Structure 1
């Protein structure tokens, strides 16, 4: 990691995003190098590896304890889904996943929760309502992937704003009407403005992985729509 910090400095890069689950104890030994080379390290808070995961909690607590401008967090906004991305549903159904599974997951979002939270509370056991919809082999492959779309309230960031170095504005589908289908970016940006966040946000398009067979990828058009 020291080599990466030095290389980042040579390239004029001042922020390194650490992948989720990096252990908290790497931070303090690296800080002298971060300070010397003016490079910040920040762990990504990502769906399915967010605020209820012990490793993430430990990293956040260490960032708070050290209170250094060279250690912080990168927030991936996939933790703020208000609906399951429609492109996920359409793609998975096109390859054989049962529609009832998505109806069930959609109902969780309508209740203000998500599959990740439901499984967390049940100790990882699938609810009976979900199990009865898992009719085919492919369902058992698809369902574990659906806990990666979380529905946290924005207020979960209230005490973290001073430590946030960057945002990945995850997007799956920009609609013709304007907004992203599954996330309320107007609400998020309004919240960040009110909290005094003055850092950067970057578009991260992942809808391309759910492109239907025979259809063109629309990554340029989607990113351009998000940047308007």
Structure 2
């Protein structure tokens, strides 16, 4: 008989970047808030959230474990960053990149986290060299599938092919839901209009996105044929990073990911997302019996800072109201 979906809900601390930067919230405030809305998975960014990184002491590791446990949560994902330019005069060598990732894998393991977000530009050849460490530490390395990449982009498939060839369960992908942008975000449009975009040009860009016209065509039309100003051209250029991939393909790739970054830019007061097609994504995940975390990643703060106070908590709360509704409407086969 059908069973309730096992999709879990979490929050990336990146969602609260505004309040954390302005010291309006502490890390524990963010964890406590996540717990209060039933989001029990806490995604961390050690370079942002741990001032002593990379030299994190055992006492600090214990604090993180104790703090999430106190609030009934767990650490769900570790976001690594690989700065390939360690000096101004040369990039990192392959060996230095492997050493950096190994350092992150070890801290991830110490924190008790089994999923690590890998930035999309990290070469599969580098990750192949890291697989033995990931296997020994039982950490899944998920390459972030971030716009303008998508699930079937050749670069992403190279990572999947590497995982298949090695027969490892510790290398795969980590989808960012920004790849499922079905409608152009109203919050984007409003910001560009405040910066001087003419309403008729903004509407042309929105209509082009709705029709899924190639971004470069729209940019040319706006910049050359319509004599677009700076704001209008910038708005058109956002289309390069506003793809709409087919959510149905998630089922095919579900064995390769354990965690999802649930990107969003705004939620309506009715707790709906006007841009990203979660109403299509969540049923696919449920049907595939996927049981990882949907981890909120609010990035709308930068689009409204010029006109209103940022309230990341309210935005995240609304997204989880939507998640509860959509997950509750799905079932999985027994």
Q: Does the pair score TM above 0.5?
A: yes
Conservation of the 8 A alpha-carbon contact between 1:203 and 1:226:
yes
| CA pair 12-134 structure 1, distance change in 2 beyond 3 A | farther
Higher radius of gyration, 1 or 2: 2
SS of alignment partner, residue 318 of structure 2: helix
Q: Deviations over 1:106-164 (max 9, x none)?
A: 223433x25xxx14xxxx45565434334213333343233211111112324211101
Residue range with higher mean Cα deviation, 137-146 or 163-172: 137-146
1:85 to 185, 193, 200: 185
Structure 2: state its 5+ residue gaps.
Answer: 1-100, 322-334
1:66 aligns with 2:166: yes
Distance 1:83 1:170 in 2: 14
In 1, Cα distance between the equivalents of 2:161 and 2:202?
36
Distance 1:190 1:48 in 2: 24
Give 1:211 deviation, angstroms. 0.6
1:56 paired residue number: 156
User: Whole-Å Cα distance in 1 between the matches of residues 310 and 219 of structure 2?
Assistant: 35
In 1, Cα distance between equivalents of 2:292 and 2:239: 30
For 1:58 and 1:99, locate their aligned partners in 2 and report how far apart those are by CA, in whole Å.
42
- For 1:161, the equivalent position in structure 2 comes to 254
**Aligned equivalent of 1:170:** 263
**Does 2:313 match 1:220?**
yes
| Structure 2 contact 134–170 (Cα < 8 Å) conserved | yes
Residues 155-182 of structure 1: per-residue CA shift (max 9 Å, x gap): 2324211101211111111112221111
Match of 1:108? 208
Report what 2:239 is aligned to.
146
Indicate the residue corresponding to 2:175 in structure 1: 75
Check the 8 A contact 1:87/1:172 in 2, yes or no: yes
* Counterpart secondary structure, 1:146: helix
Per chain length, whose mean CA-contact separation is higher, i.e. which structure has more relative contact order (CA < 8 Å, sep 6+)? 2
Aligned equivalents of 2:181, 2:159: Cα separation in 1: 23
Contact 2:189-2:235 within 8 A present in 1 as well = no
Q: Corresponding residue for 2:302?
A: 209
Q: Any conservation in 2 of the 1:91–1:211 contact (CA below 8 Å)?
A: yes
Count of aligned pairs between the two proteins: 220
**Could you tell me the TM-score, scaled by structure 1's length?**
0.87
Deviates more, 1:6-15 or 1:134-143: 134-143
**1:130 is the counterpart of 2:222:** yes
Indicate if the aligned counterparts of 1:109 and 1:151 stay in contact, CA closer than 8 A: no
2:239 and 2:132 map into 1 onto residues whose CA distance is: 40
1:28 pairs with 2:120: no
CA contact (8 A) 1:91 1:212 kept: no
Match status 1:197 vs 2:290: yes
